[in-house]
């Protein structure tokens, strides 16, 4: 303990010129040390060790997932050389192109009826395929549809679902292509077939919905169809 001691003081009073001395006793006061009201600092707990050691980096969410980013889809190989095609496929492709360039929509009947099963021309019911193609053509005679067919077959194509019952050669390649990943030169190819308004609608839909042609490895025409 600390002590503060005050000795006896002599107070001198001067009154009317006479000096009077008076003794005043002063108590000795005990002064306690000031209490420390500061709260005790809690012990700091050590951080938990990371897997693989304290120097191991934290695994980010992107690293934890093996999935590719949603906006990056693997692009299929685009082909232009028709010599790559098996002979039955190349034969069907050639026959359809000749018919399209002939301007005679009626010649399509020979191609369509050469299949054991009628190719898909619509997702709805149709009666006569040639009448349907004429009605689908803006001019009513089938010329527009033949022009679309020629442009479609002239575009790049893809070989898809290889080794499965659904294996197919598909024109144009945009039908199986991530439209949001098109390069500038690919967009020029695309606009040779559709308008920018058509493309905007397909981008919003998320897939190609214009005309496409699908031919099986055995040369069977499976579809010449538009829509979803």
CA dihedral sign of residues 60, 61, 64, 66:
negative
Average pLDDT rounded to a whole number, residues 84-100:
97
Contacts with 120 (C-beta within 8 Å, 6 or more apart), sequence order = 222, 223, 224, 225
Q: What is the mean pLDDT of the chain?
A: 80
CA dihedral sign of residues 150, 88, 84, 77:
positive
> 136 with 161: CB under 8 angstroms?
no
Residue 219: predicted pLDDT = 96
ω before 81 within 30° of 0 (cis)? no
Residue 64: predicted pLDDT = 43
Q: Residue 177 — very low, low, confident or very high, per pLDDT cuts 50/70/90? A: very high
Tell me, rounded to whole angstroms, the distance of Cα 209 from its chain centroid.
20
Kindly tell me if the per-residue pLDDT of 21 is higher than 80. Answer: no
Rg, C-alpha atoms of the chain: 46
Inter-CA distances, 92 with 50, 80, 194, Å:
63, 16, 24
More confident residue, 182 or 60: 182
Give tens-digit pLDDT for 146-159: 999 999 999 999 99
> 212 with 170: CB under 8 angstroms?
yes
Give tens-digit pLDDT for 111-168: 999 888 899 999 999 999 999 999 999 999 999 999 999 999 999 999 999 999 999 9
Give pTM, 2 decimals: 0.68
Domain locations in the chain as residue ranges? 2-31, 82-225
């Amino acid at each position: 303990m600390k002590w503060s001691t005050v000795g006896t003081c002599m107070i001198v009073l001067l009154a009317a010129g006479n000096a009077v001395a008076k003794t005043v006793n002063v108590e000795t006061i005990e002064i306690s040390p000031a209490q420390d009201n500061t709260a005790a600092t809690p012990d700091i707990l050590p951080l938990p060790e990371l897997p693989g050691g304290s120097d191991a980096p934290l695994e980010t969410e992107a690293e934890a997932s093996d999935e590719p980013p949603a906006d990056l889809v693997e692009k299929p190989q685009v082909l232009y050389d028709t010599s790559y095609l098996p002979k039955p496929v190349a034969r069907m492709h050639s026959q359809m192109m000749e018919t399209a360039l002939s301007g005679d929509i009626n010649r399509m009947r020979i191609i369509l009826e050469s299949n054991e099963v009628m190719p898909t021309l619509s997702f709805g019911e149709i009666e006569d395929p040639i009448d349907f193609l004429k009605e689908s053509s803006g001019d009513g005679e089938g010329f527009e549809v033949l022009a679309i067919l020629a442009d479609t077959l002239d575009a790049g194509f893809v070989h898809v679902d290889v080794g499965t019952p659904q294996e197919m050669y598909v024109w144009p390649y945009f039908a199986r292509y991530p439209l949001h990943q098109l390069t500038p030169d690919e967009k020029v190819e695309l606009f040779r077939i559709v308008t920018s308004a058509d493309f905007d609608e397909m981008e919003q839909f998320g897939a190609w919905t214009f005309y496409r042609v699908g031919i099986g490895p055995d040369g069977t025409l499976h579809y010449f169809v538009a829509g979803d």
